[in-house]
Amino acid sequence: MKKIIYIFFFLSALFLTGCDVDVENPNTTTVESFWKTENDAKNGINAVYNYFYKPDTFSRWMWFRLDLTSDEGCSESPWAELKEWTRFTYNNYNFGEGNSGTYGACYRAIFRANQVLHYVPDIEFKDENNKNQILAQAHFLRGLYYYYLGLLWGSNEKSLAIILEPSTPAMRPEGHTGTEVYEQAIADFTEAVKYLPEEWTGDEKGRATKGAAYAFRAKVYMQMHKWEEAKADLHWLVEGEGRKYYGLTTNYFDNFNGNENNIESVFEIQYSDIYGSPAGDGDYDVDPNLGLNRGKFFAPPSIGWTDGELRPWLIEEFKKEKDVNGGYDIRLKYTAFYEEMHNDFPNNDRIYGRLSGFQKTGENGNANPDVDTWGLDNWKGRVFFRKYGADYYRDYDDYYNKTNVRLIRFADVLLMYAECIVESGGSVSTAVGYVNTVRARVNMPALAVNHSAAASGKDAFLKQLQMERVHELATEGHRWGDIKRWGLLDNQAGIDELKSRDPDFNNFKADRHSCLPIPSSEVKNNSNISQNPNY
């Protein structure tokens, strides 16, 4: 299927800071000359989607905050400051790759969405429904970025701006709490639901749908512990009108390879290698990079920069339970590269262009030292990311990986729905049924077989669900939100549990590190926003 290639433009404006200088560049599109036609409106919404391709968001650095800061991942990067920001050692709050870059990119994406919402209502359309769908997409994307701002930087302080119109250099918006930012995200998703289509076809596949808006709104509600509201949204996808569009793929791996925009996809980012090297990442590049950078930064030594890797407890956790055929959970195979991978699964001895473990040569069975991969000093005892890497179709990874990223897939929806059912006082057995559906897809036994307490009691079920989400969704950007929602960051017992899996949490302070610091430059330039607590 042909992927959407989102074109982009940039209208001259600055975000929050800068000087009031009125200079018109004759080579740059201006507000006065743009926003006239339906095509301008389409290009405008495409420009919002374009922020998915920026290194500061989901192409690269967002994963350091969502995956590496959680107990799933860590960094042993030689880049000291990059490594420190995964260890809760925040010295320079303006560090671009750890903090200010992603913070600023979220607001630049919001700025682009605000332009669409401000100017498109005045454009005349032949079909008013097309206009409404463009506006709904802008609400969805603005809500998405407000959700991640609330998740990463939100606190009880009025530290985050909520901007609902195109910003100007003179603006100094008021600060808002994380809860207020979540409420804004909910308001945007609510507007999006009204006019987003239930599905897109042809080259439009990949745009936000009604189901994506419901699913993301449910995610926000869940972070606020509004279980009934979240359950109602998820019901639309699981049991309601949207059920006909969603399901689980037969093959788990189809969520991470070229079988994209499939039945399990609720919302996925459409990456492409159409331009290839040396496509650029800047706002003014003629041939922009539309590829995923993540694999280059997470791939093993000599293949990528290895700035991120996985904690070994994940492998141990996967191996605690066998599938119905006596083998290991197939999800382990597609989650990680690790030392015993070639022994644990048939035909699983390739790590991009390398071989895993000793490969026997000759009749005498001598080991070939050239391929003793896990014996190398920079491989011993380490576990590396596999999901969303390029290893399934080539022997290297780079900045132009064409693999789509699913921000939400239906398995996540089923597990969220199960959580909401139980948290809202519903039937544990009903919730267990949805978990068993996810387990059955990968031939894992019903929950009651090895987890009888979890199959019958609320507290035990919710605790087991924490690991069910790891098995299904590890390294897909959900874990930080999960441990935050479950309260593991709020008390010493939860932090001690995280420490037992990830030594980085020895540096974690509950009254500080559950949110990131606001970049110092933003606090300095806008007296209306506060720094987060204890920074």
Question: Which tens digit of pLDDT belongs to each residue from 464-477?
Answer: 999 999 999 999 99
Domains of the chain (ranges; CATH) run 1-21+35-181+490-535 (1.25.40.390)
> Which residue, 410, 408, 407, 430, is CA-closest to 419?
430
- Average pLDDT rounded to a whole number, residues 50-76: 97
Tracing tokens 């599109």 back to the chain, one arrives at 29
* pLDDT > 70? residue 521: yes
Report the chain's mean pLDDT, rounded to a whole number: 93
The region, left, alpha or beta by phi > 0 then psi within -120 to 50, assigned to residue 202 is left
Predicted pLDDT of residue 123? 97
**For residue range 100-125, what is the model confidence (pLDDT) as tens digits?**
999 999 999 999 999 999 999 999 99
Please name every residue paired with 384 in a beta bridge, in sequence order, or none if there are none.
337
Q: How far does Cα 474 stand from its chain's mean position?
A: 11
d(CA 91, CA 512): 13
Share above pLDDT 90 across residues of the chain, in percent, rounded to a whole number: 87
Query: What's the CA gap between 407 and 268, in Å, rounded?
Result: 5
Cα(463)–Cα(441) distance, integer angstroms? 21
- Which amino acid is located at 32 in the chain? E
Quick check: pTM over 0.85?
yes
| pLDDT over 70 (residue 227) | yes
Which residue is associated with the tokens 């899996």?
A: 501
Three-class SS of residue 354?
strand
